[in-house]
Amino acid sequence: MDDYYLIFDMLNRKNLNKLDFYIETPGGSGEAAEEIVGFLRNKFQNVSFIVSGEAKSAGTLIVLSGDEIFMTDSGSLGPIDAQVKIGRGVISAYDYIEWVKEKREEAEKIGKLNPFDATMVAQISPGEISGVYHSLHFAKDLVVEWLTKYKFKNWNITETKKVKVNEKKKREQAREIAEQLTDHSKWRSHGRSIKISDLRDIGLKINRIEDDPSLAEIVYRIQTIIRLLYVSTSAYKIFATSEEKILKEAIPINKSLKIPKGEPVVVEIEPKCPKCGKIYNLYAKFVSDPKIDEDFRKKKRVAFPKDSKLKCKCGFEIDLSGIRNEIEIKTGKKIIT
């Protein structure tokens, strides 16, 4: 949602009818994507999206709200099957629903489940099933609505048979595309790269940027600069218009991270405020144990913040997302907040 507020602030003052939006993202919140699209479509009469890197998951949702989609050969979208947290892991909502259907059919056919499946099914609540179902259909509903309203708004006749296209046909086509993009059995992986040819095969009209060499040069130059910034700086998010640029930077760990040997249950972190230099004494735990909190409070250490943000006394907001990611990668464990 932070991205939504930044995009709103940067673009709300623009007095334009048309927006060209270069987007590169591994994904994120579907709800945030809905907010971003709602603002863009209310603010601008025509919105085109340019994809040269990856615009996966929620990024794909945003792109599918455009009047036009421009992609390079290196660009890719991704499946939009919702990823839901079940127990300790994150799985595809599509896979979850398919598994439940399979076990229901199996029970109806032979009258029982094997002991392992019966144990698994017994742990599922009706609310959990309902939540997963709605998560899966949330993305579908958005795609159907946006494709029909924006991408297909000027589609009045089919290209091959020259048949007139009505609203019902537009919605049917949009639904078919949404079904294919949420079909985990088709793409196999949520991170799968869906290229121009794949998108055209499922019924989406994509403008290939390489067909316009001058445009391709501009877009690839943008992509190269973005890559150089990510490699040579601590920036992990970039927002830019012709007038202003905002970079979100992660706080480097350097020597502030202390990971015990073996199977750690807690790590100590000492991030430094880049504005005033104040050092904070934090700890991050991997098990839910109140005694850990009690022990570290005695050491005058503060628990790792839930939103990975630490407000310094000087007023600077320290973003600990980079530190959190590095800790979880190095330990192979998720921080419990």
pTM over 0.75: no
Q: Is 190 strand, coil or helix?
A: coil
Q: pLDDT value at position 250?
A: 67
Residue 221 CA, distance from chain mean position: 24
Exposure of 291 by Cβ count < 10 A (0-12 exposed, 13-18 middle, 19+ buried)? exposed
* Helical ranges in the chain per DSSP H: 2-11, 30-43, 58-63, 93-110, 115-122, 126-146, 167-181, 184-187, 196-201, 213-232, 290-298, 321-331
Given a contact cutoff of 8 angstroms between Cβ atoms, the answer to whether 192 and 78 are in contact is yes
Angle separating helix axes 126-146 and 93-110, nearest 10 degrees: 130
Q: pLDDT value at position 220?
A: 96
Residue 23 CA, distance from chain mean position: 12
- pLDDT 10s digits, 41-97: 999 999 999 999 999 989 999 999 999 999 999 999 999 877 777 666 677 777 778
- Residue whose entry in the numeric block shows the structure tokens 């399979």: 102
The one-letter amino acid code at 277 reads G
Give the integer Cα–Cα distance in Å for 4 and 70: 22
Band of the pLDDT at 316, cuts 50, 70, 90? confident
Q: pLDDT value at position 251?
A: 62
Domains of the chain: 2-80+133-248 (3.90.226), 257-331 (no CATH)
pLDDT at 336 over 70: yes
Q: pLDDT value at position 87?
A: 63
Give the integer Cα–Cα distance in Å for 12 and 248: 20
Token code pair at residue 161: 């048979």
Q: Percent of the chain at pLDDT above 90? A: 48
- pLDDT 10s digits, 129-179: 777 777 778 889 999 999 999 999 999 888 778 889 999 999 999 999 999
Phi and psi torsions of 306, nearest 5°: -60, -40
Given a contact cutoff of 8 angstroms between Cβ atoms, the answer to whether 213 and 126 are in contact is no
Band of the pLDDT at 256, cuts 50, 70, 90? low
Give the integer Cα–Cα distance in Å for 1 and 298: 35
Q: Which residues of 240-275 are buried (b: 16+ CB within 10 A; e: fewer)?
A: eeeeeeeebebbebeebbeeeeeebebbbbebbbee
Averaged pLDDT, 240-251: 83
CA distances from 27 to 32, 56, 124, 205, 318 (A): 10, 5, 28, 22, 23
Give the integer Cα–Cα distance in Å for 271 and 321: 12
Give the integer Cα–Cα distance in Å for 300 and 272: 16
Q: What stretch of H or E contains 262? A: none
State the Cα angle at 178 between 198 and 220, rounded to 5°.
45
Per-chain mean pLDDT for the chain: 87
